[in-house]
């Protein structure tokens, strides 16, 4: 996305598009009504960056999500009114995001034991398995946010044809590195966990390694592409 | 100095004030469930508030101290046996080298915090010594204590307060508690359904969250499927209609409706509830939430004489 496009988008989200509210008495949320909107999310990531840079007293944590930023505030030490005003001004700023978008390519072994739902996604899409793989690997995905598990990146936007909703009954154990689809989002399980995403393959990277620096491969705002890897027999 | 675990108790973990600043990477906060009791215990033995303590759950461990030690046990009330003497918890004690501490019957609350002058020395993981049981890191290899574990203790700063008694600034719940909540003003779910009925903590309630059984709480219109941040005290309502009160080991984000959040002043009260206990929710205003918190902080500071 170019800087010019970014400027346009923040104007279109409008001065009244963002608002601040409490979430409990120890967190403020600046948010705007949006679904999976890369431009709105770019603004959220930029607000989060500004909050961290500003080193506001009493701020304990800053969590950007799809179309919101939650700022954890020590309710005793922090000044919520001042923070609230600053959050709105960062949200309404038309300045482009200062941070360049990183590009990360992830190899995926589609199907096989790591992709037990690939056939189901093909049935959902009414196309062949190869076509599901082609469409998933053709996407340029934005990391909208991390959450759920350490290092778990919510990426989008998945081609609507293969955007199969979550399973009705989640699996009790999804293996680490599984690549899944949940509606218009895709992601890689960093560790074995219960989960309801439709599993289509196995990634060749570990999104979270405790001993590594940094421990998490992805951060909000990254651009991710998937490359099919040939299954070794 | 080292502390040897003779018997671990059902769930004893190393905790501090939590792993802040990493939630943007999906890394949970964890930390003491009842941070008030954790802080009071540290204060009594002359530690900084962020020193690591042991969080003892429902029943306690049996420990042996390699050198003379000053300890404090604060939070849930237990009968303690120290070198053969039976004493009530809630203040500081001195043990001599080779001394043993064992936890006896619990008479109130659910979680007690054992601080040792010097604090438990364990590697920092993302800036904290807290045990994150779900992520399996922090504390002692990300797990609860086992028999024959040995924990290193740092050098005491001095300033321990022998014999001094100091209580967290709220009464320990006996069988249940009324928790004040702030209603979310973003139309998430139907908060009014939370007020009135009495819920019970389900048997699978743990450090991540309490499953509350009682009348079904309709989540209202379905959630968007997108995730939002989940502060401690968030009451989530999944489609099943069984609310979940999110506690210290909660995930950083969640996709369920979250109609209300327990106020900071009452999270420590919630931490002292055990499975089977009842809970009721009562709406509260933002200004009362802040007043409640400030008055608890003041009460603690007054008792402690300048406690951090």
> Looking at domain A103-228, what is its CATH homologous superfamily?
Cyclophilin-like (2.40.100.10)
Interface of A with B (CB under 8 A): 21-27, 29, 31, 35-36, 48, 60-68, 70, 72, 75-76, 145-152, 154, 182-183, 190-191, 208, 210, 215-216, 219-220
What percent of chain A stands above pLDDT 70? Answer: 91
Are residues B186 and A220, on separate chains, in Cβ contact within 8 Å? no
Residue A231 has a pLDDT of 66
| Angle, helix A129-138 to helix A118-125, in steps of 10 degrees | 90
Measured distance CA(B234)–CA(A24) in Å, rounded: 8
Query: Percentage of chain A surpassing pLDDT 90?
Result: 82
**CB atoms A67 and B226 under 8 Å:** yes
Does A5 have pLDDT greater than 60?
A: no
Chain B stretch 77-116, residues whose beta carbon is closer than 8 A to a beta carbon of chain A = none
Task: Judge: A68–B297 Cβ closer than 8 Å, yes or no.
Answer: no
Per the listing, tokens 């939370």 go with B194
Model confidence at A1: pLDDT above 50: no
**B254 contacts on A by Cβ (under 8 Å):** 147
A vs B: CB pairs below 8 A: 125
- The predicted structure's pLDDT at residue B165: 79
What are B157's two structure tokens? 């700063």
A126 pLDDT more than 60: yes
Every domain range in chain B assigned CATH 2.40.100.10: 176-304
- Condensed to tens digits (0 to 9), the pLDDT of residues B168-178 reads 778 899 999 99
Q: Where are the beta strands (DSSP E) in B145-299?
A: 150-153, 176-183, 199-201, 209-213, 228-229, 234-237, 244-246, 253-254, 257-262, 278-283
Q: Can you give the pLDDT of all 308 residues of chain B as single tens digits?
A: 999 999 999 999 999 999 999 999 999 999 999 999 999 999 999 999 999 999 999 999 999 999 999 999 999 999 999 988 998 888 899 999 999 999 999 999 999 999 999 999 999 999 999 999 999 999 999 999 999 999 999 999 877 777 777 877 788 999 999 999 999 866 566 788 899 999 999 999 999 999 999 998 877 776 677 889 999 999 999 888 899 999 999 999 998 889 999 999 999 999 999 999 999 999 999 999 999 999 999 888 887 776 65
Q: What is the pLDDT of residues A179-207, one digit of tens each?
A: 999 999 999 999 999 999 999 999 999 99
Interchain CB contact of B247 with A (< 8 Å):
no
Residues of chain B in contact with residue A35, where contact means CB-CB under 8 angstroms, are 224, 226
Q: Which pLDDT score, from 0 to 100, does residue B231 have?
A: 97
Predicted local distance difference test score (pLDDT) of residue B240:
86
Burial class (CB in 10 A: 0-12, 13-18, 19+), B202: middle
Domain layout of chain A by residue ranges: 3-92, 103-228
Tokens of B194: 């939370």
Cβ contact, residue pair A23, B231, below 8 Å: yes
Res A140: pLDDT: 96
Q: Do residues B112 and B9 lie in contact, with contact meaning Cβ atoms separated by under 8 Å?
A: no
B156 cis-preceded (ω within 30 degrees of 0): no
Q: What is the pLDDT of residue B62?
A: 98
Q: Which chain B residues contact residue A182 at CB under 8 A?
A: 225
pLDDT of residue B126: 97
pLDDT tens by residue, B174-210: 999 999 999 986 656 678 889 999 999 999 999 999 9
- Contact yes or no for A148 and B227 at CB 8 A: yes
pLDDT of A180: 98
Structure tokens at B73: 């046990």
| pLDDT for residue B235 | 95
Contact B253 A26 (CB under 8 A): no
Fold of B176-304: Cyclophilin (2.40.100)
Q: Is residue B186 within 8 angstroms of chain A, CB to CB?
A: yes
Question: Average pLDDT in the A119-136 region?
Answer: 98
CA distance A218 to chain B (A): 8
What does R_g of chain A's alpha carbons equal in angstroms? 19
Q: What is the pLDDT of residue A83?
A: 93
Q: How confident is the model at residue A15 (pLDDT cuts 50, 70, 90)?
A: low
Answer yes or no: is pLDDT of A11 > 50. Answer: no
List of chain A residues whose C-beta atoms are within 8 Å of the C-beta of residue B137: 210
Mind telling me how many Å the CA of A95 is from chain B's nearest CA?
A: 22
Question: Which architecture does CATH list for A3-92?
Answer: 2-Layer Sandwich (3.30)
The pLDDT of residue A99 is 73
Residue B162 is predicted with a pLDDT of: 74
User: What is the model's pLDDT at position B84?
Assistant: 85
Contacts of A148 in chain B (CB under 8 A): 26, 227, 251-253
- Per CB-CB distance under 8 Å, the chain B contacts of A215 are 25, 126
Which residue on chain B is closest to A211 by alpha carbon? B125
Q: Does B290 touch chain A (CB under 8 A)?
A: yes
Q: Enter the ipTM.
A: 0.94
pLDDT at A3: 33
CB atoms within 10 A of CB A50: 21
- Residue A4 is predicted with a pLDDT of 32
Instruction: Please report the pLDDT score of residue B189 as a whole number.
Output: 67
What are the chain A neighbours of B234 within 8 Å (beta carbons)? Answer: 23-24
């Amino acid at each position: 996305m170019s800087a010019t496009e970014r400027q346009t988008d923040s104007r279109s989200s409008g001065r009244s598009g963002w608002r601040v509210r409490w979430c409990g008495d120890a967190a403020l949320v600046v948010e705007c009504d949006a679904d999976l909107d890369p431009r709105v999310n770019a603004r959220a990531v930029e607000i989060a960056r500004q909050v961290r840079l500003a080193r506001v007293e009493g701020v304990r944590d800053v969590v950007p999500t799809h179309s919101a930023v939650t700022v954890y505030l020590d309710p005793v030490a922090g000044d919520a009114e001042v923070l609230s005003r600053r959050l709105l001004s960062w949200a309404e700023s038309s300045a482009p995001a200062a941070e360049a978008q990183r590009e990360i390519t992830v190899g995926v072994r589609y199907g096989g034991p790591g992709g037990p739902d690939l056939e189901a996604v093909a049935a959902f899409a009414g196309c062949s398995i190869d076509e599901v793989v082609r469409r998933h690997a053709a996407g340029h995905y934005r990391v909208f946010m991390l959450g759920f598990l350490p290092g778990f990146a919510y990426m989008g936007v998945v081609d609507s044809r293969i955007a199969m909703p979550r399973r009705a009954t989640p699996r009790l154990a999804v293996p680490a590195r599984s690549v899944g689809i949940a509606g218009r989002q895709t992601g890689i399980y960093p560790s074995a966990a219960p989960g309801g995403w439709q599993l289509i393959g196995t990634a060749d990277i570990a999104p979270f390694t405790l001993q590594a620096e940094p421990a998490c491969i992805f951060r909000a705002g990254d651009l991710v592409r998937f490359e099919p890897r040939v299954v070794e027999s | 100095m080292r502390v040897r675990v003779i018997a671990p108790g059902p769930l004893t973990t190393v905790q501090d004030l939590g792993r802040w600043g990493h939630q943007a990477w999906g890394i949970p906060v964890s930390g003491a469930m009842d941070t008030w009791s954790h802080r009071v215990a540290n204060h009594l033995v002359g530690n900084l508030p962020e020193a690591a303590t042991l969080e003892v759950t429902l029943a306690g461990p049996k420990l042996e101290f390699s050198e003379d030690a000053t300890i404090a046990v604060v939070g849930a009330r237990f009968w303690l046996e120290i070198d053969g003497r039976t004493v009530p918890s809630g203040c500081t004690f001195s043990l001599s080298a080779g001394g043993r501490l064992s936890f006896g019957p619990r008479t109130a609350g659910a979680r007690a915090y054992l601080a040792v002058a010097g604090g438990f020395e364990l590697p920092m993981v993302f800036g904290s010594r807290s045990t994150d049981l779900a992520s399996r890191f922090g504390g002692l290899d990300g797990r609860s204590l086992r028999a024959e574990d040995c924990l290193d203790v740092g050098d005491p700063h001095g300033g321990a307060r022998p014999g001094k008694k100091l209580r967290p600034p709220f009464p320990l719940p006996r069988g249940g508690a009324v928790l004040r909540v702030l209603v979310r003003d973003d139309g998430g779910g139907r908060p009014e359904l939370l007020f009135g009925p009495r819920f019970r903590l389900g048997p699978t309630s743990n450090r991540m969250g309490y499953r509350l059984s009682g009348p079904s709480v309709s989540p209202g219109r379905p959630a968007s499927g997108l995730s939002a941040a989940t502060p401690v005290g968030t009451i989530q309502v999944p489609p099943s209609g069984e609310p979940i009160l999110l506690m210290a080991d909660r995930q950083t984000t969640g996709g369920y409706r979250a109609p209300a959040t327990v106020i900071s002043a009452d999270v420590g009260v919630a931490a002292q509830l055990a499975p089977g206990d009842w809970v009721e929710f009562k709406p509260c205003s933002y200004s009362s939430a802040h007043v409640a918190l400030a008055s608890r902080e003041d009460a603690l500071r007054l008792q402690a004489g300048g406690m951090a």
